[in-house]
Each structure stands twice: as C-alpha cells, then as structure tokens.
Structure 1
C-alpha cells in the first residue's frame, strides 16, 4: 500500500498538471478563435499566426497535397495563388474548435466567389500544433475536388 503522503502528492501533481494543460488549451483555443473571428470580419491576417518554419501538410491527392516546410513556401504556393483566383475572398465560418494540450482542431466552412463568378465552398478540418501562441505545424483536410478545380479552372497568369 502506498503511503498516504505519497498518494496525496501524486493527486496534487495530477491536478496541477491538468490545470496547466487546461490553461494552455484555453489560451491556444482563444488565440485560434480570435484569429478566425478576425478573418471572418475581414480584419487582420490569420496566417500571421504561423511561425516562419511552419510545417503545413495538405492531405489527399490534389496537385497541392504535400508538406510545405515554411510559411513563405505555403503562402507563395497555395494561399496567394488561391486568393488571386477569387473575386470575393474566403470567409470562414467556424463550426467548432477543440483543444488538447498544444493541439487545436478547427472544423470550419469557407465560402468565396471565383473570378468567373462561380461559388467556391469547402469544408476544412485543420489540426494545428501551437507553441508560444503561434502555429508550428498543421495537418489540413479539405475538399480536394473543389480545391483542385478552382486552382486548375481559373487562370491568372
């Protein structure tokens, strides 16, 4: 049988660890929620939350499905080209945000209008690893058919 003092110390340590995790989770969730709200409202740039050496993986089998190893590469190869194809930029609507330790998961829908007047609608699930209030890694799930279509259909160069 464990000594009562050792058992009490183990319980206190467990509670303190869980409280710390809860503060971290709340803070990370709050940062991401604020970033999405500002994006939705047309204020600020959500991608300012990325560290310079972010690892951003787009899952699936689109021509853009791969791991990008820097903020600059991801913005230059995905975000900037996509935005050039849009008359009305993507407006996110968050369905839910979940946090677990340093991971924040956002399920959201994006709606925009392409240069040819067609609607662009996609649902996303982003798994974002956080450190010091910044996003260090992302695994992004999205509608690959919709994304590949707009990237191929709209010519901007």
Structure 2
C-alpha cells in the first residue's frame, strides 16, 4: 500500500505533464484515484481544474434533462459550450468537496458537492457524480450526473457576462 505522500507525488507529476512512474505495489486504481484527487484538491484551492485532465479528444456526456445534457465529442466543445458559459455566470467560482472517490480498473467515480456564488449574488450548489474513464493519466471519457432542476434554474436565471 502506498502512502498518501507517494500518491500525491505521482498525481502532481502527472498533472505537471510528467509521466507517473509505476512503482511496485502501485495499482492502476491507486494511480488514477491519486491523479483525480490531486486535480480536485487543486480545484478546491483555486490553483487548478479537473478539466486539465481531459485528453483533447475526450468525450463528456451530461445525462438527464439539463439544458446542456448531451455528449460533447471533445475537450474544446465541452469547455466552449458548458464550462466557459457556466463560469461566465459565476461571481465566485465553484469549490468542490469530495464525498466519496472510488476507482476500479481505469474508471474513477467521484461523488462531490460544489458551490459558489452566481453573478446575481445568489448561491449555486449542486451534487455531482462523475464517472471518469482514464488512460495514461488523462480522462478519455466522462459521464456526469447532477440535479438538472437546480442547474436549469441557475442557467436560465443568470446571464453570462459578456466576453472581453
């Protein structure tokens, strides 16, 4: 069993673009979980984003009946159509708190709460479950679940700020 410090070093090296060297005893699950955990830690601290883990050709599916529910074929489409317009509606960005994180094989499942303040001064809070299919330290495919009623109310209520 690897220590938290070892897993953090592996995750940070991977986030920095350096391949995480497999050490005896490290499982695929341990490495992938550490990489995702480190990206959420950086997101929470305001120093990074889990979207940095997306491969350029990663697909992202938002399930359910949200205004943005569909499959995005690549990283840029997802960022352009969902993440940038979402962030343009926020005064204070989302800060995640992981409830649970699990890994099996190449899949990491993260259950988390995220909250921030919308441009209209009202809070936005939602609970998410992300299923992340990993390959070589990158997310190749993601499926996201969240409360679409909360999301849609926010999306319709708050206009995005104009791009500079």
TM-score range, shorter chain: 0.7 to 0.9
Count of matched residue positions in the alignment of Structure 1 and Structure 2? 138
- Which residue pairs with 1:119 in the alignment? 123
- Which residue pairs with 2:28 in the alignment? 24
Task: Return the offset for 1:155.
Answer: 1.3
Secondary structure of the equivalent of 2:65? coil
For 2:144 and 2:93, the matched residues in 1 are separated by 19
Task: Return the offset for 1:45.
Answer: 2.4
Give the TM-score taking structure 1 as reference length. 0.85
- Which residue pairs with 2:82 in the alignment? 78
Consecutive aligned runs of 4 or more in structure 1 exceeding 2 Å deviation: none
Task: Return the offset for 1:21.
Answer: 9.9
- More displaced 10-residue stretch of structure 1: 21-30 or 122-131: 21-30
Question: What is the correspondence of 1:53-92 to structure 2 with a 5 Å cutoff?
Answer: 53-92=57-96
Tell me if the contact between 1:59 and 1:65 (Cα under 8 Å) persists in the aligned partners. Answer: yes
What RMSD over aligned residues (CA atoms) do the two structures have, in Å? Answer: 1.4
Structure of greater Rg: 1
Q: Structure 2 stretches of 5 or more lacking a match?
A: 1-23
Deviations 1:64-122 (A, max 9, x none): 10000010000000000000000000000001100000000000000010011111000
Q: Which has the higher helix share?
A: 1
For 2:30 and 2:146, the matched residues in 1 are separated by 25
Residues 1:149 and 2:153 are matched in the alignment: yes
- Which residue pairs with 1:100 in the alignment? 104
Secondary structure of the equivalent of 1:61? coil
- Which residue pairs with 2:140 in the alignment? 136
- Which residue pairs with 2:46 in the alignment? 42
Give the TM-score taking structure 2 as reference length. 0.81
For 1:53 and 1:29, the matched residues in 2 are separated by 21
Tell me if the contact between 1:110 and 1:122 (Cα under 8 Å) persists in the aligned partners. Answer: yes
